[in-house]
Every structure is written in C-alpha cells, then in structure tokens.
Structure 1
C-alpha cells in the first residue's frame, strides 16, 4: 500500500510544533492434484456400522444392558463438576492449545458449560499464557489457561516466567495421564509425569495436584485467592485424566464460596513515620514502578506529589503518573534528594547506585551519601532462590511491607498532618522550578524527534508522532513496552489515563509483546478502545501465530512492526565487546544479530494468518496513509498490521 499524495504528509516543523503543544498542555482453492486422483476408495478395515448401530451409539437408546451402557457412555463425568468450579471463579476466558489429556474437561466446558469460560483457540501455549498476562493487566482479573501434559507445560514456560516476574495472576490448569491403564500408548507415557508442574514451580506462587474432585474444587478456590492477592502471580492446578473422564462417585461434592481476602496495607505506625520524614524533607523524591491499579491510584499519587511538590520518577512497570504533569521528572532528580520514597519498585538499589557496563565495572553513587530511603510495597514478600528476579539487596532506612495502592491514602493523611503552614508556603515556591524544568525537557524531546525526520528507513520518532497525530482524539491504549522505540510515546504523547500504558513483560523474555497485546486488546474491546502495539520484528517472530487467534476471535488490534531487521540491542552488545577488544571489521558482528537475507515480509505473514496488512513501508511519506487505513480497519472491529522498515531505535 503506497501513497504518493503530498496532502497525507506533514512538514517536520509543522508536525513537531503541533506535537509540542499537545504534549505540554483468501478464498479456498482446491489443489489441482486432488482432482487428478483415481476415483477409487480404499476398502474399510472393518464393516461400517449400519443405521441402527449408529443410532444406538449416538442416541443412547434404552435397550442397552447395564453392562453395555457402562462400556459406551459416561452419564455424569467429573469434568462437568470441574467446569462448575471454574465458572464459580467468574473467569471469562480460558486460553488453550488443545490436547487429549484434557479432552474431558474441554468437552465439558463446551457442552456442559455452554463455552463458559469462553475457549480462546491458541496455536501455542506460550501465546496462551502471554495473552492471559496482557489481559489481566487491563481487566484486573485473571484468565485461565490449560496445558496438555509435559509438552504443553514446557512450551508455556517462558510466558509463565514473564507473568511471575511481572507479578500478574494467571490461573494455570495442567492435565496429566495419571493412571497406568490410561497410558495406552508411548505418546501418553511421554506426556505423563509424577510431578507435572515441577519445570515451572520456581516461578509460580503456588501449585497443587488434587486427586479427587472435592480436592480440585478446594485447591482451585485456594489458588484463585492466592493468585489475586498481592503480590500477585501465576498459580497451577494439575489434574489427571481419571477424575475428568470417569463418572462421579464422590458423595456430597460442594464448591466453596469464592471470597477474596482483604488487601494487606502497611503498618500504620510505620506509614506515619514515613509521612513525617517526607513532610520534613527539603527535597523529597518519589520513584514508582508497579503501583497503579486504577485511575484512583494515579490520582492519589498526583495528590501526594503535589502535596509535597515532590518530583516523580516513573519506571513504567505500570502507568502510574501522567506524562503531562509538571512533576513528572527524569531519574537525575534523585541526585539532590534528601528523602526518597520507593513505591512498589523492583530495584531500589539502582535508584541509589550505579554500575557501568565497562571492562572494570565502575561503581558510583547516584544520590547524596546521607539520603534516606523509604520503601513501600510488596516486592519483598515473594521471590524464589533459583530465579534471581529479586534484584540486588538494598537496606532501606524505613521498609514498609504492604500494598502500595491500598496504603497510599494513609500516607497522604500522614503527610498532611505533619505539613506546617510555613512548610506549605515553602513548598509552593518549588512549582515554578519544576514547571520550567518540565517544559525544557519537552522542548529537548521535540528537538530530538526532528533528527532523521525524512530518513528512510523511517525514524521511530517519525513513526510514533505520525501515529499520535492520527489517534490523539480517540480513546486509545498502548499495549507494548516502549523501550525499543526510545519511549517516544511517553516523551511526546499525552498519557494521563491508567489504561493507556500496560508496562513491560516482567521477565524481559522475547515473544511476549504480540500475544500479550492480543490479550490486552481483548480486555479493551469491551470499552471500544483503540488498542495499539508497536512490536519489534525479532520479538514478533517468536509468536506470530497469535495473529490467527486475533482474526479467529475477532479481536481488534493495531499491530505496528518496528522492523529494524535485526536484534539491535544484542548487536550493540557484541559491538561493545569488539570495541573493548579493539577488533572487527564493518559487518563482522552481523552474524547471529541481523534478520535479513531473506528479509521477513510481515505483511505476507499476517495476511496468511487472516488479518489485514500493509507494507513493508519504507518511505516516511507512505507512513501516514498506511496508518490511517489500518486504524479504520481496527475501528471496524478487525485486527490490522502495518510493517514499517525503521531505524534501529
């Protein structure tokens, strides 16, 4: 799709000036070969059943003996009860890649449960879990996933780790050929395990392997409560084929009521002490990461920041603080802080310290030696030994364990109590300083976006700002991490609603972005929002099949491939090694890092998977028209993909 019309493009300065104002304020064809086959049929290996016999099997007639019925039919399968359990959890969706080990459960959901929860047809387990991950961050409720034996669990592993590291709830069901007599082939033996979930146990909050239906009910309720109580994380329930497929023999089965526990808040005395420290500070700073769960969360943080006139450093694990607010500042403000509030931050050590990626790994301090650090959140409550996602240890001056979102109103109350009138007057004077600093940073970002405005391959600044001009008056949501396109939306868009950014993957595993975006888009569909995902070419190739799922389930999503034809971050790592070692020639670091020869045509990939596509877009003058058409497609309820050939970052 190419456009040569000048009216579809904006001049660089005209466009950027506008951005600055906004920011600061296939039919099926039968194979011919098939028609050339001889018109013959193979003889059946056994006589086909006559009509009477077929009716006996399909219609369950009364003239069966008791023994015959037992051999042909299951009247009250255990998986019907299991379906009732899942429905009691009020789970809307279950993402699966079908497997014979859970065929009973699958059938019950469809025919006993009326496809509730709704089955999402996925072509890979990693895709299924990542969809659940993205969905939960938008909907604030978990999705269920179901795995087939040993192979399904291992396929899902990376995505489960991402969800765990991001502290996002996913309800994992995993089927197993538990009974000797059920293992009727070598395939079933290969798909069976004594402890099915052991490969992923180190990055789940809890798991169980119930052997009875009552145990399944109780463990499912327990797991749901654990998964959705901060710190949230995936939980797993294994089950065998036996309890699914056999008639129910247990008596007095019941499903416990689903009552979620209260959210833990921080110790009120400690919160009061923190409020006093912040109120008395000369230069308080707030650093925030995985804090906000709602617009109310965002508003509370604004209230605290304005009360103190404290700059907020957004680490973007969630959308926590508007990028249009003058107190949104860069990480450099920590250098002058005397008190820092670290709010639901994964890595407090790196707020205070820095180790550079140089041969001698030089260490330096980012802050004053006597700075006081307050930590508030749940990051210290859950981590494992083997997987080291807890980051480097830091001993805070005041460490408060409690959910940051639920605890913040009490902290605001405490700060208000300790602020004297003279202190309030002193604090007001800071507004001018922070406002001017905020405006200056916006101007620098605008200037940076001018660079390579007319370049081909297309600059990521041009890509993001052309897109912004088309969506700024719509109800949109960005679903992908921003790091690999230089965080242009956070730098130059207007982002003030909690659902407009969805954070990163948690574990930084490739293959997250496309399926997580489809899952998030499913949650946004209810509200009629325009979901947008800017995804790298390398990341996209891990899980391209999810585009078929989005087409199959009619999940509207605008996917934009940031196609720099390489793993650019890894290329730069290898280049750094070459620099340290003072060797190499131009192009010598390309093998293993670039994605070319042949170039991947994502438009053809997406078209083959059933979604609307255009590209590759190589000229910036083609970009606007392509994006506009794709947006129209998405607003009509279909997924669309635009393949854009870009600069590296």
Structure 2
C-alpha cells in the first residue's frame, strides 16, 4: 500500500510490535519505494517526516512502536498538526487476540484504543482488523491526509494480524481511483462580492497566511496583489507565501504587530485574510474589541473543519463580514480571474508608506561578538550566491535581513512550539531537496538542538546534506524573559531571572555532540568573521553531500520583541 501510494520513505525506530511490517518492507519490497530511514528516537521519526512534508506537501511514512514509541512521538505529531502538514503515521499494538501474546511484554504493549492518545490532534485514525481493512485504511488515510486542510493520520496495526497468512482471493487495488480531494473553490457569488469590494477599496490589505509551495500559486498571489493595488502582510509563523522585498509587502513578516506595522492595519478599509493564522489575535492588537473595527473583513479558510474542543489552535473567533469556506490558493485564482475582468484597482495607499526593514548589516562589534541579528545577515549573505531554503529558525528571528523571494526560501515555524524538532525538521527538508539545486540551512537555539541532537545520526548515516547553525546563548532565554516579567509584576528582583534557566558551567560541547553522531562540526565561534569563515567551510562539506554543524555563541537577546502574557 505504501508503494502504491507513492510514499518514498518511512522513518522509523524499530519495535517488535511491527516486526511483520518491518520484514515486509525489507524482504518483500527490498527496502525501496519506500526506503526505511533509521532514527535513534521516535521524536525524530516524526520531525523528519514533518520537514519533508513542508517541502513536498505530500506525506512521508512515520512508523512508531506500540504504546511507548507512540508516546515518544506524540509531541512531534502535535507539532505536525499545528503545522497543518500531511503525514502517514503507522503504529502497532497487540497481538489483539490474547492467546497470541507473549508473557508480560505483549500485554503491557497492547492497548484497547491507542488512537485515544492522539485522536484530538490527528485528522483521522483507524485500527483495522483484517487484511482488507488494512488496504482500505491506507487508501482512506492517504486520501484524508493529502486533502486540504492537511494534517496527520494514524493507522494502528494489530501485531498478530500482521503475521497471519494473506487470505484467499485477496485484492489490492491501484490508488488512482482513491485520489485526494481537489481543493475547494468558493461560489461565484462570493467571488464577485469580494472582487467588487477589492475594486472599490482605497486601502486594501491582504493577509497571506497558509499557502502552498507551488510556483504557480506563488505567481498568482503576486499578480493578484498587483491587480488589486493591495498591501500585503505575512507571518514568521508560516512558510514563504509572498516575496518580502516586493514593493507591496507592507512590513517585515509579523510575529506580533509592532508600532510601525500597526498603522497600516488601522488604515485598511478592506482586510482579506487568506487562511491567516490567529486572525482575531492580529485584529485585537489594533482594537481589543475586534468586532468594532471599521474595516470590511473577508476571511477565507477551511481550517475550521479541523477545529475541536480539545485543541485551542483555532485561536480567537474573528469577526468576518464575508466568511468563505474555500482553499486559499484556489480562492486566489478565482479572485484573480474576477479582477482581470474588472480591470486594475486604482488604490495606491497614498500617504502610507511600506515599513522600511532597515539596514541589513552586521553589528558594530562584529569582531568581538555575535548578536542574534548577525545570524540573519549571515544567512542573507549566503543567499546572495546560491538558492537557500531556511528550514528552521530560532525564536525571535525577524526576516528583516533574509529576504524571501520564492516559495521554498522559508519553511516557517514548527507548528506546535514543541522543543527538539529543529534538527529533524532540517533533515526532513534536506531529504526532500537532496537532488535539487538548493542549500538547506537550519538555524536553531541551543535548547532546541540539545533535545533533538541524535537526529543528526540519521543525516550522517544517509548522507543528507544540510548546514546546521546553533544559536547558542547558553540559556533557555525565552523563559528568562518570562521570569523577568513575573518578578517585575510581583516587585521582586528581575536580576534573578537566569536561575534555573542558563545552560552553562559546564557549557555543553555542541560540536562534540554533533561529531558523536558522525556529523562534521566546529565551534564555538564567537565573532562574525569566524562565523563567516565557518560557514564557508560548512558549505563546502554540504556541497559535497554531507551535513555540517556550527556552534555559534551569541549574545543574549532577540532581534524581535517577544511578548509575554500581559506585557
């Protein structure tokens, strides 16, 4: 079924609960189409599949051992759910029939309803009870995960059933007649209404949130903006959806609205959200009572079909004068056709200039230290001479220096905020782009790296080329900010914020940890000139088809302001 569904890889950490499945992958399929990728931890199984899906927008296989393996992988599945990526997660349990269980171990690794562990953050799950049921589960699971809005699915295999003889007259259909559902379009009446709104708007603002990496979809977004005379905003939390150096890109990609970007949203008489993540949270930064905004609001999203009562990833309920249930990229194409018939909008946003991102230069003390923004400038300089895919970025990354010019330039946030995913996400993206002309770079904090470091073994073993840059401030710095805020609220000394946060005395040997996984590495480097020299050495290794890691010791701080609760 995996082969017929054209799934090229399955990441796994071995487990006896799926030994029948494992044998079939090796001895029946010959470990090709799909090929197994051995991982040292189930977290990496999921994060690698997640990174791959960000690039390909197609699912990879991710195989997890019964109960305990699934528990290890749950955080990564939550990240993938939040990132809205497709994924075929295959688990196992049992044997379900008690007479087939070995003493002790098979009993503690059998559960009546493993899907209950993750049902609230997958799109669908199943536990088939027959060979025919397995076939249908894979066909249905692929169709569901690959249809928009995308999210992981989970199929749990009975360990006993895996080892049963195939029944007589067993039939495996081809996959052509079970294809994913085409992205949903909007009714023509809604398209015409929005086209008329855009045509008459003086200051239209498009918020591009989730969108595909297809070059045609990218080009249509640009053409739509130019036809509409709109300003555009994008988010650091999402993948690349629009060129950030385009004259209609109003401000550097948002984490939160800052003082320079807020007036643009305030001045908009029409706001069109193309599956913008947390639309109400953005609007409330302009007016706490978002329903009182004077702007006409159009919200195009299918994401509500994934909303449930457990996960609050649906965010605040946004006001919308025109709520539209459609795929955002399909809607872009429809709206563009309508505007072509009507002619270009005359909007110029007179008197409101786009926000200048400012100079993209290294810090004045570059010979003595590396500040967080220096890492962005360094990646920018690499991108001046080659196609770069930024597969991961550390907290506070602003994208003020590194310009996004194509759909694979930036792969966005990890989706759920789960730490330890950065290495695996980078490896998964590099796997997807291994035969391309792109250089994959993953920038990650030291805390993220330390929790995911053994993922690098998979990159070394399978020769997956990527450049890992660890932004090493030797601290769980995001929580230092929270502790400082807490201390100020309570009238206590904020100087104590570092206690229980700093990763120092001793400082972990990050390059040594990478080398222990078989990855070439260097560092710590502590000034910009040494960083750039290390990057040149690292790129030579990556160009030769191998991974490389740099430990970059950076000063405490963030490029962008990080907002804590109530502050």
Q: Do they superpose with TM above 0.5?
A: yes
Match for residue 356 of structure 2 among 441, 454, 475: 441
Give the deviation of 1:419 after TM superposition.
4.4
Are residues 1:111 and 2:27 paired?
yes
Q: Name 1:486's counterpart in structure 2.
A: 397
Pairing 1:264-275 to 2, within 5 Å after superposition = 264-275=184-195
Match for residue 529 of structure 2 among 618, 621, 627: 621
Are residues 1:165 and 2:89 paired?
no
Q: Name 2:43's counterpart in structure 1.
A: 126
2:362/2:377 contact within 8 Å kept: no
Distance in 1 of aligned mates of 2:505 and 2:6: 49
Q: Name 1:215's counterpart in structure 2.
A: 133
Q: Name 2:216's counterpart in structure 1.
A: 296
Distance in 2 of aligned mates of 1:580 and 1:567: 21
Give the deviation of 1:300 after TM superposition.
1.0
Q: Summarize deviations over 1:168-206 as a string: whole Å, max 9, x none.
A: 011011111122133212122111101122111110000
Are residues 1:312 and 2:232 paired?
yes
Distance in 2 of aligned mates of 1:477 and 1:441: 24
Distance in 2 of aligned mates of 1:118 and 1:454: 45
2:487/2:494 contact within 8 Å kept: no
Q: Summarize deviations over 1:37-64 as a string: whole Å, max 9, x none.
A: xxxxxxxxxxxxxxxxxxxxxxxxxxxx
More displaced, 404-413 or 455-464? Answer: 455-464
Pairing 1:300-449 to 2, within 5 Å after superposition = 300-316=220-236, 317-330=238-251, 331-332=261-262, 333-354=264-285, 364=288, 369-419=293-343, 424=345, 426-427=346-347, 429-430=348-349, 437-438=353-354, 441-442=356-357, 444-446=358-360, 449=361
Q: Summarize deviations over 1:79-116 as a string: whole Å, max 9, x none.
A: xxxxxx11111100000000011111111111110113
Q: Which has the greater radius of gyration?
A: 1
Distance in 1 of aligned mates of 2:91 and 2:497: 42
Q: Name 1:45's counterpart in structure 2.
A: none
Distance in 2 of aligned mates of 1:576 and 1:641: 34
Q: Name 2:254's counterpart in structure 1.
A: none
Give the deviation of 1:250 after TM superposition.
4.2
Q: Name 1:65's counterpart in structure 2.
A: none
Give the deviation of 1:351 after TM superposition.
2.6
Q: Name 1:463's counterpart in structure 2.
A: 375
Distance in 2 of aligned mates of 1:367 and 1:534: 38
Distance in 1 of aligned mates of 2:547 and 2:100: 42
Q: Name 1:241's counterpart in structure 2.
A: 159
Alpha carbons of structure 1 residues 91 and 217: separation in structure 2 relative to 1, 3 Å: same
Distance in 2 of aligned mates of 1:499 and 1:459: 26
2:281/2:315 contact within 8 Å kept: no
Q: Name 1:637's counterpart in structure 2.
A: 545
Comparing both structures, which one devotes a greater share of its residues to helix?
1
Q: What's the secondary structure of 1:589's corresponding residue?
A: helix
Q: Summarize deviations over 1:576-614 as a string: whole Å, max 9, x none.
A: 11111121263x222222111211111000011100000
Distance in 2 of aligned mates of 1:336 and 1:203: 37
2:488/2:494 contact within 8 Å kept: no
2:12/2:42 contact within 8 Å kept: yes
Q: What's the secondary structure of 2:92's corresponding residue?
A: strand
Unpaired segments ≥5 residues, structure 1 = 1-84, 356-362
TM-score after normalising by structure 2: 0.92
Match for residue 224 of structure 1 among 142, 147, 150: 142
> What is the alpha-carbon root mean square deviation over aligned residues?
1.9
Alpha carbons of structure 1 residues 367 and 637: separation in structure 2 relative to 1, 3 Å: farther
Q: Name 1:33's counterpart in structure 2.
A: none
Give the deviation of 1:485 after TM superposition.
4.5
Distance in 1 of aligned mates of 2:194 and 2:119: 36
Are residues 1:559 and 2:468 paired?
yes
Give the deviation of 1:433 after TM superposition.
6.1
Q: Name 1:194's counterpart in structure 2.
A: 112
Q: Name 1:540's counterpart in structure 2.
A: 449
1:335/1:368 contact within 8 Å kept: no
1:319/1:503 contact within 8 Å kept: yes
Distance in 2 of aligned mates of 1:620 and 1:635: 22
Distance in 1 of aligned mates of 2:11 and 2:488: 46
Distance in 1 of aligned mates of 2:538 and 2:212: 31
Distance in 2 of aligned mates of 1:472 and 1:155: 40
